[in-house]
Amino acid sequence: MSKNWPLKENSVSRRDFVRSGAVLTAALAAPSGLFPLAQERPSADKEPAVRLGLASYTFRNFSRAQMIGFMKQLNVFALNAKDVKDHLPTDTQAETAALADYAPAGIKLHGAGVIYFAKDEDADVRMKFEYCKRAGVSVIVAGDPAPETLPRIEKFVKEYDLRIAIHNHGPEDKLWHSPLDVLKVVKNMDPRIGCCIDVGHTVGAGTDVVQAIHEVGPRLFNVHMKDLKSFQDKESQVAVGEGIMPVRKIFEALVATKYNGFVDLEYEIHPDDPMPGVIASFAYMRGVLAGLGA
């Protein structure tokens, strides 16, 4: 797969705000009780404007038990789980065992995916909805449903009252390059059919990610967050805050549109040693949110 995306890089600053090395070092070293974290587990009387979570694909080379340990270290308890390793198996008994491990750790699953709907068949679609119903999630992140499959999926959305968020995969995706491609197809369908905006793939498709958030509006159900040093090179991923992704403007757009889903970190590099980049990413995002009062 080509490293280069055929597009013009968006004009953004290299940092959303000035972050000193000393502040970051202190943020990463501080005990969890001293650093302003608590966006993931809000108090009962105050719901945060933007909630942070984790895409389990970040820890795809680690077992469920290891990932739970990492999440406790991160003080992150909101999970978008994928059928990778033993994170959320599709087998009913194994899935039940996974859920039994997450519950006592305080981890709440809010999404599942990416899940692929390759067959336009009731039995296949129902199996995936049942899988997500058992997990107790509210959003199914769908990878590649063909437009002609969506009316069938819509039927199950109504039956199960679960939202479908179609994930855009950039210029290599034959169907869904950008969230705006998704919106064109689903805008007249059931309001529970919408988008998962992957910010990396969105800028890779040449789409202004901030504008896309505003245009998708109430049909935005999930966000996958990452950062890049070059919008023309998908292999240039770095920890959030170390690239040119307009993170602050993304969060401002989410607040402005009253987005009520999760922003899930999907850190795809260094799969055998992701924690340094994951820690830095959450520290940066929390800093941005604190600056916004969100």
pLDDT in tens, 246-278: 999 999 999 999 999 999 999 999 999 999 999
**Is 22 or 67 the better-scoring residue by pLDDT?**
67
128-136 average pLDDT score: 98
- What is the pTM assigned to this prediction? 0.85
Residue 4 lies in a domain: no
* pLDDT value for 290: 95
Quick check: is 80 in a domain? yes
**Number of folded domains in the chain?**
1
Q: Are 192 and 161 in contact (CB under 8 A)?
A: yes
Determine what percent of the chain is predicted with pLDDT higher than 90.
78
Q: Is 158 left (phi over 0), alpha (psi -120 to 50) or beta?
A: alpha
Per-residue DSSP letter, 2: -
- Could you give the CA distance from residue 208 to residue 230 in angstroms, rounded to a whole number? 14
Nearest residue to 55 via CA among 254, 222, 214: 222
Minimum mean pLDDT range among 13-27, 79-93, 172-186: 13-27
When the pLDDT of each residue in the chain is averaged and rounded to a whole number, the result is: 87
The pLDDT, as a whole number, for residue 47 is 60
Give the tens place of pLDDT for each residue, 14-36: 343 334 343 344 344 433 433 44
**Domain around 220:** 50-292
What are the backbone dihedrals phi and psi of residue 54, each rounded to the nearest 5 degrees, phi first?
-125, 135
* pLDDT value of residue 17: 37
Closest CA to 50 of 264, 265, 259: 259
Residues 151-173, mean pLDDT to the nearest whole number: 95
CA-to-CA distance for 89 and 98, rounded, in angstroms?
Answer: 8
Report the alpha-carbon distance of residue 247 to residue 265 in Å, rounded: 12
Residue 3 maps to a domain: no
* H or E element, residue 263: strand 262-265
Residue 164 included in any domain: yes
d(CA 13, CA 17): 9
Task: Quote the pLDDT of residue 144.
Answer: 85
Residue 142 lies in a domain: yes
Does some domain include residue 30?
no
Domain annotation covers residue 27: no
From residue 110, alpha-carbon distances to 51, 52, 135 in Å are 11, 11, 9
Question: Are 110 and 79 within 8 A, CB to CB?
Answer: yes
In angstroms, the Cα distances linking 105 to 64, 68, 180, 257 are: 12, 7, 37, 32
Average pLDDT on 67-88 reads 98
pLDDT band at 170 (very low <50, low <70, confident <90, very high): confident
Query: Is the Cβ–Cβ distance between 262 and 110 less than 8 Å?
Result: yes
In a domain, 79, yes or no: yes
Q: pLDDT tier at 215 (50, 70, 90 boundaries)?
A: very high
Integer angstrom CA distances of residue 196 from 4, 212, 264: 23, 11, 10
Q: CATH code at 253? A: 3.20.20.150
Show the CA angle centred on residue 37, arms to residues 253 and 284, nearest 5°. 55
